[in-house]
Amino acid sequence: MEISRAGEARSNGESCTTWSALSSARTSSIRSKSPQAILALFGPQMTHREKLELAAIQEVWYFALRNRSRGPNNDGYDDHEHHYIPVQHEHLHYRYEVLKKIGYGGQGQVIRCLDHMRNTLVAVKILVSPLSSKRDKFQRMEIKMALALQGEGSDEDYNVVKVLKYFDFRGHHCIVLELLKESLHDVIKEAGLRQLHMGMVKTYTRGILKFLCHTKARSIIHADIKPENVLIKDTVTGTIRVTDFGTSFFVKSQPLYVGGTRPFQSPEVLLGYRLTCAVDMWALGCTVAELVTGRELFQSDSRDDHLPCCMEILGLPPRCMMDAAPDGMHYFDRVGMMFCPVKRRVPGSLSLHGALNSHDPEFVDFVSSCLRWDPDCRMTPAQALGHSWLRTAATSTTSTTSNATTTATPGSVQCFGAAERRAEPALPPSSALAQASKWLTVVVEEEETPVEELLVQEEETLVEELVVQEEKTLVEELVVQEEETLVEELVG
């Protein structure tokens, strides 16, 4: 294969000189070039830093030379917030060609790149420059968590995003991932007012649950399950991959500060309890609710407002959970009354089925089982996979109008704390649903019977009053007739 140099290629208004080990036909027949050869070609135009980088590289698969400074930090490579500034068609680590930015966040950005060694498209996550040892530790933990979940079949069987490689480049930790399609957040936005097909919602839910089975088996908490972190692998089959391990950690090594996204944070995070894998099940319930309704279930205004927002729909937590919470005084007074932020929220004033806009008891029960206050009472991923909602055929679970009103009823036994927790015996989801249906039937019958009796009593009373009134009227008429007859006889 002929090795060629492309001179003065234009991209984003800047000039660059590039060299690629791929042929113009983009075939899989590739050949690398040594760093010494690159130095011979471009040495006079390279900076001292680039020459040092080349000295640590064994093979060069792609190279693009740019001399113009682009940012205020890190020799022009970083912006004001210390994010790397990618330029189209430049190189990353002398192997990956930058094509397009496809994701951005506070912790880093994701770039679509062409891997010139394997001639495949990949996604490279470039983390923000770690300016402190604390941030560097967090970023290394993200890489550690991503690698800990890798394994034979972890992507196909447990829907873990595949990590292809990781490296450091110009002061940034970089992770090379398989290139996937849009996220579930994008799917929700594209659907707009149209509801997602319930069959696909159930497929996505099963996919996330398989991932959570994998993390639970390894005692890992993802801690940021949400639609943005679930990417589509195959749009036809609904295959997904879970990504972003920036807030993940092992159960045995709890961090002092737990990250995550507020609308999906579980109450034990806010109340200061030690966390378990049930954190991710709470986030799953919020995610499934958003997939069905197209909006966040708990639309809180701030961190202080989030727990009151949850209580507005789910009612008050068990008293033992409030009393034993390390950070409970931030939300409750001495008698267990809730402190309200700017927005006044009344616990239990909104029903869960109303918030979900659904009258499907199986769907509401599924979400409710994920959103129990006591994490020990929530469904596990394995139990959720066996829930009747996921086993039944896909049907519409939402409606545009709702005439029925119900109040949130917290679990009858939801104590919280190591010494006083008394969890209810676990019931199969179908059995729990049957008991709930039986209870509702009894309540309805008890409510309907007095009403029917009152109606009958009112009808009987009304009839009696009418009969008495008619009798009185008849007697009065007879008395009048007799008086008139008597008068006529006397006159005559």
Residue 249, classified by CB atoms within 10 Å of its CB into exposed (0-12), middle (13-18) or buried (19+), is: buried
CA–CA distances in Å: residue 281 to residues 173, 247, 326, 381: 30, 16, 22, 7
The Cα–Cα gap between 415 and 404 comes to: 30
Both tokens of 78, joined, read 């970083």
Per the CB < 8 A criterion, the answer to whether 175 and 109 are in contact is no
CA count, 13 A, side-chain hemisphere, 258: 27
Name the active-site residue from 78, 155, 224, 305. Answer: 224
The β-bridge partners of 126 are 109, 174
106/46 Cα distance (integer angstroms): 31
Residue keyed to tokens 């292809």 = 164
CA–CA gap between residue 330 and residue 18 (Å, rounded): 58
Which of 343, 463, 355, 482 shows the shortest CA–CA distance to 408? 355
Output the CA angle 159-161-164, nearest 5 degrees: 140
Residue 224: active-site member: yes
Three-state secondary structure string covering 83-133: CECCCCCCEECCCEEEEEEEEEECCEEEEEEEECCCCEEEEEEEECCCCCH
Secondary structure letter of residue 418 according to DSSP: T
Q: Are 230 and 240 in contact (CB under 8 A)?
A: yes
Is 263:297 a contact under the CB 8 Å cutoff?
A: yes
Count the Cβ atoms, other than its own, within 10 Å of residue 481: 10
Three-state secondary-structure class, residue 130 = coil
Residue 14 β-bridge partners: 11
Active site residues: 224
